[in-house]
Structure formats: structure tokens, C-alpha cells
Amino acid sequence: MTEKPVAQVHRGQILFTASPEKFSAYENGYIVVEEGKVKGVTRELPREYREVPLADWGDRLIIPGFVDLHLHAPQFPNAGLGQDMELLPWLETYTFPEEMKYRDAEYAKKVYSRFVDELWLNGTTRAVVFATIHQEATELLYRLFESRGLGAFVGKVNMDRNCPDALKEKTRQSLAATRAYLENHREKTSLVKPIITPRFVPTSTADSLEGLGKLAAEFQVPVQSHLCENIGEILWVEELHPEQPNYARVYNAYGLFGQQPTVMAHCVHCSDEEVELIKKNRVFVAHCPHSNLNLSSGIMPVRHYLDLGIDVGLGSDISGGHKVSMFGVMAVAQQVSKIKWLESEKKYAPLTTAEVFYLATKGGGKFFGKVGSFEEGYEFDALIIDDSNLFGDGLTLEERIQRLLYLGDDRNIVERYVAGRKNENPRI
């Protein structure tokens, strides 16, 4: 059994968002960590901790690790390809052919190793991830996250209709493989866990959706999928399921919409009734602005969701999105919120820097529990940031974060901590 990390103290320029309204900033502050969790953030070090080893980061920033609430590991080799297409043609042309390759375990190992390293490099300490239909490759991805010490929900994808034959599963076999995956991994580690993953309604029959809903309830595991990303997709769901009033209701009918913790990606074109169901069922929404722009899907009304108290996080959505860096995702989330503000005749106010930072940390981190903040009892997921190359003497801590979102990259990340453990990736 891995030993629990000992008590530790970090000193530096501390910034986090306990709420989306504002930053909590501590210049030359201290974070006390016990057994991997934050004991407290103070401006003066408590006397009882003065003998604890101190990591003094000087003028460097200490911020929570980033949470990517939606991305596809097997699509990593496709990043930047097909960005002149809409969703459904893009799936047929690029995504499905790439995902067929993961029946080859060696190919999967090559790509997934690089993928997990890239997340580590870019400061993503937790992620909610789609794999493919292939059980062996999915289990490999799970083990890679585990060995790297990163937190993740890893899902074996289920598809039994409307996809290439090489990716089309027989329903019973698909459910049996998912059951085996859950049995093998649901209680294996505290950092990496399985998640039920129907790709989306068009590629899952009613029998598959029903079976997955039952597995989610039986094993008490969460659910991830896609919702209302693209107009063509929504019309297709209407044709496939005329018995339901909308897309969200299809998932709901089969116990896949908040009956267990659920995250739905995109939610760009949800009707008022769907938004109300999201709120009622406490479904998380993954906002993926890069992907929504690249695939001409639209702009999610993030302000509307936040005003209703719906839990929202950010997703890179590789490879609909083209970069795993959450710096860029935060920046573009703020940018597109300004366009939505104009489109809505200034009804939906643009996102502030504190809000997009919150979405990339605590907003998505809630899906993992007490993750994404430095409040007492939260797991100590942290990034140590050296932004000295960005210049700008005399900036406040918040102004330094503003510049970091638009100008920063992996080179600014000095150290990474996950659940209190310093995370050094030997492959980089």
C-alpha cells in the first residue's frame, strides 16, 4: 500500500477561486497540507507547523491543478485535423478511422503514453476521458493514468449502431465487456476510476442505453456522454427517438442523466426544458469552446447555466479541440462569452477571469469531489508557476493570472502536485 504523504508547507503567491465571483489571493502566503489534503491557507505560518519541511517558492504562483472535464484519448493523433468540417462528417472522415486502430494494443500503448504525458506536461491533474470500444486498450489507458499518478475517470466507449462495422459492437458483448471493466477497476485506486460511456445517442441502441443505465446503478459509477452539440446531431436523435420530446429525455429514460453523477459535453443547443432537466438532475456540463468553434457547432450560453446554478467545467475535447492546454481553453472560453454577450443583445454577461479560472479548477473539480481549490479539506492538486518570462513588474496576482491565461504555456509550470504528492513524470 502506498504511504500517505507527510505534512508539508508551501509558501508563495497563492491564488484560487473558492467561488466563481472572485479570486482568493494570498501574497507570500502559506498552504499547510496534511495527508494529501489542504489543512489551511494563511498569511502567517501557524506555530505548530514551523518544524514541518517548507517549500518556499518565492515569487512563483501556487494555483490549483487544472481539470479537463471532457476529452477523447484515442483522438490525440488527430489534433488539428478536419477543422474545416462539422461534427458528423468529421466523425466519419477522421475520428472513426483513427479509433479503429486501437484494437492493436501496441498502437494504443504508443498513443496513450504520449497522451497522458501531454496532460501532465500541461498541468492537467484530473481528466474525464473517453477511450474506445476496445476493452484491452481502455484498461491500458487506465493503468497509464494510475502509473503517472494523475486523477481520471476513464470510460470504455459503447457503440452498437450507426458506426463502421469495425467499431460496431454486439449489444450483449458490449455490455459484458463493460461489466468486466467495471468489476476489474471500480475500487482499484482512489485517483483513477471507471465511468459509463455511451458515445452518444445515435450510436447506442435502446437496449444498450438501458443496459448501461442498469450497470451505472448496480456499480454506483458515474456517466459521461454528449448532448446537443450540433444541430444535425439533434435532428438525428429526433428521428431515432420520436417517443421522447428531446435529446436529454432519451438519456433520462434509461437512467443515464443524473441518476448517477453525470457529465454531458457541449450542451450548446439545449432547449429550456432540457436545461431545466440538467438543473433538476444536477448534471454537470462540460464547456468545450475550442471544439465548438472548430466544428462549427455554436457557442454554449455559459452565463445562462451559471446563473441557474448548474455545475459547469471546461473541456479541451481533443480532438474536436486542437490543444490539451487549459490555458488556451480558459482564454477562448472568455473570448466566446463576449460574442455570446453580443449575440444575446447583452443578456448573457461575458465571463470574468475569476469565472473561467473557476471553471478550469473547482468547477470541473467538483465532479471528483473536493478537488480544484485550496479550501480546507480539499485534495492538494497544485501547480507551481514561474511567469517571470511574461514580464510586467508591479502586477497584482490576478493580473498575473490574466496574462498567464493568454500568454502562458507548459514552460511556465515548474512543479505539479496531485493529492499532495509531487508528481514527476519520468517520461518527460
Terminal Cα-to-Cα distance of the chain (whole angstroms): 26
Whole-angstrom distance, CA of residue 306 vs CA of residue 311: 7
Whole-angstrom distance, CA of residue 197 vs CA of residue 216: 10
Q: Where are the domains of the chain?
A: 8-65+372-422, 66-368
The backbone region for 370, taken as left when phi is positive above 0, alpha when psi lies in -120 to 50, beta otherwise, is: beta
- What values do phi and psi take at 197, rounded to 5? -140, 75
343 residue type, one letter: E
Q: pLDDT tens digits for the chain (428 residues)?
A: 344 457 999 999 999 999 999 999 999 999 999 999 999 999 999 999 999 999 999 999 999 999 999 999 999 999 989 888 998 898 999 999 999 999 999 999 999 999 999 999 999 999 999 999 999 999 999 999 999 999 999 999 999 999 999 999 999 999 999 999 999 997 767 899 999 999 999 999 999 999 999 999 999 999 999 999 999 999 999 999 999 999 999 999 999 999 999 999 999 999 999 999 999 999 999 999 999 999 999 999 999 999 999 999 999 999 999 999 999 999 999 999 999 999 999 999 999 999 999 999 999 999 999 999 999 999 999 999 999 999 778 899 999 999 999 999 999 999 999 999 998 865 54
Q: What is the CATH number of domain 8-65+372-422?
A: 2.30.40.10
CA separation (Å) from 399 to 344, 391, 405, 406? 28, 11, 10, 11
Whole-angstrom distance, CA of residue 290 vs CA of residue 332: 7
Q: For residue 95, how far is the Cα from the chain centroid?
A: 19
Task: Write down the pLDDT at residue 425.
Answer: 67
Whole-angstrom distance, CA of residue 30 vs CA of residue 44: 7
Whole-angstrom distance, CA of residue 94 vs CA of residue 91: 6
Q: What CATH topology corresponds to 66-368?
A: TIM Barrel (3.20.20)
Residue closest to 68 by CA, chosen among 384, 288, 235? 288
DSSP assignment string, 133-160: S-HHHHHHHHHHHHHHT-EEEEE-EE--
With residue 9 as reference, give the H or E element that holds it. strand 8-19
Grid coordinates representing 236?
438525428
Grid coordinates representing 342?
453580443
Whole-angstrom distance, CA of residue 143 vs CA of residue 213: 25
Whole-angstrom distance, CA of residue 198 vs CA of residue 195: 10
User: Is the Cβ–Cβ distance between 225 and 278 less than 8 Å?
Assistant: no
Task: Write down the pLDDT at residue 357.
Answer: 98
Query: For 74, which DSSP code?
Result: G
Total Cβ atoms within 10 A of residue 162: 17
Going along 166-280, which residue ranges are E strands? 192-194, 197-198, 223-227, 262-266
Common-topology check for domains 8-65+372-422 and 66-368: no
Supply the Cα-derived Rg of the chain in whole angstroms.
21
pTM: 0.96
